[in-house]
């Protein structure tokens, strides 16, 4: 059994019109963000349903960050506002289920805000490091380790 510290995974749902472009720009600018961030491109954060966040945690994510356009500048007018309400609902559900609601967060960035996005991603990584690996993941890992031994 390895005693090495478990690498956490943070899923970042990034809107193609802003945060995904900002992440791309961060690369061009040689800005570094934590290596445990897994970026997923979405057509708009308004496309994300509550179950996407729930499934991400169920399938082993330690944190989920939703990055949409700045309020008032959504390409589809109010997709990011819809996403905000869904994220808030999912946070409530996660808390009811016994998972820290801080593991899920929504942020707003523009396509030009590479530095701001990187700061948010670093903040999220720090939050997850403080909270530790998801208890779901730990149970899963333990079960796997037990079945191996």
Partner 1 sequence: MIVAERKTIPELIDILQGHKNVLVLGCGTCVTVCLAGGEREVSIIASALRIASRTQNLDFKVSELTIERQCDNIFIEQAAEAIDKSDAVLSLGCGAGVQAIAERYPRKPVYAGLNTKFLGILEERGIWTEKCAACGACVLHEYGGICPVTRCAKHMLNGPCGGSKEDRCEVNPDRPCAWQLIYQRLKSIGQLQKLEQVTMPKNWGPSLSGGPRTIIRDDHRI
Which residue intervals of 3-134 are DSSP H helices? 19-28, 50-58, 79-96, 114-131
Using CB under 8 A as the binding rule, whether residue 135 contacts partner 1 is answered as: yes
DSSP letter, residue 9: -
Scanning 1-9, 36-44, 65-73, 88-96 for contacts with partner 1 by CB under 8 A, the matching segment is 88-96
Using CB under 8 A as the binding rule, whether residue 75 contacts partner 1 is answered as: no
17 or 57, CB closer to partner 1?
Answer: 57
| DSSP secondary structure, 60-79, as one string | T-SEEEEEEPPTT-BTTBSH
Scanning 19-27, 63-71, 91-99, 110-118 for contacts with partner 1 by CB under 8 A, the matching segment is 91-99
Nearest to 33 by CA among 48, 17, 22: 22
Helix H or strand E segment including 32: none
7 or 96, CB closer to partner 1?
Answer: 96
Residue 46 Cβ vs partner 1, minimum distance, rounded to whole Å: 13
Among 2, 5, 35, 98, binds partner 1 (CB under 8 A): 98
Nearest to 111 by CA among 9, 18, 11, 2: 18
* Inter-residue contact 38 to 78 (CB < 8 Å): no
Query: Nearest 5°: CA angle at 31, between 131 and 65?
Result: 35
Residue 38 Cβ vs partner 1, minimum distance, rounded to whole Å: 19
Using CB under 8 A as the binding rule, whether residue 20 contacts partner 1 is answered as: no
Residues 38-57 that bind partner 1 (CB under 8 A): 49-51, 54-55, 57
List contacts with partner 1 (CB under 8 A).
49-51, 54-55, 57-58, 93-94, 96-99, 135-136, 139-140
């Amino acid at each position: 059994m390895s005693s090495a510290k478990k690498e956490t995974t943070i899923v970042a749902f990034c809107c193609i019109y802003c945060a995904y472009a900002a992440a791309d720009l961060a690369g061009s600018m040689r800005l570094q963000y934590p290596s445990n961030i897994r970026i997923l491109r979405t057509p708009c954060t308004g496309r994300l349903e509550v179950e996407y966040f729930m499934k991400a945690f169920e399938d082993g994510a330690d944190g989920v960050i939703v990055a949409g356009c700045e309020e008032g500048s959504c390409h589809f007018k109010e997709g990011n506002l819809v996403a905000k309400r869904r994220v808030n609902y999912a946070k409530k559900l996660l808390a009811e289920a016994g998972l820290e609601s801080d593991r899920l967060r929504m942020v707003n960035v523009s396509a030009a805000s590479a530095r701001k996005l990187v700061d948010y991603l670093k903040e999220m990584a720090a939050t997850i490091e403080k909270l530790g690996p998801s208890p779901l993941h730990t149970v899963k890992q333990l079960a796997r380790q037990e079945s191996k031994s």
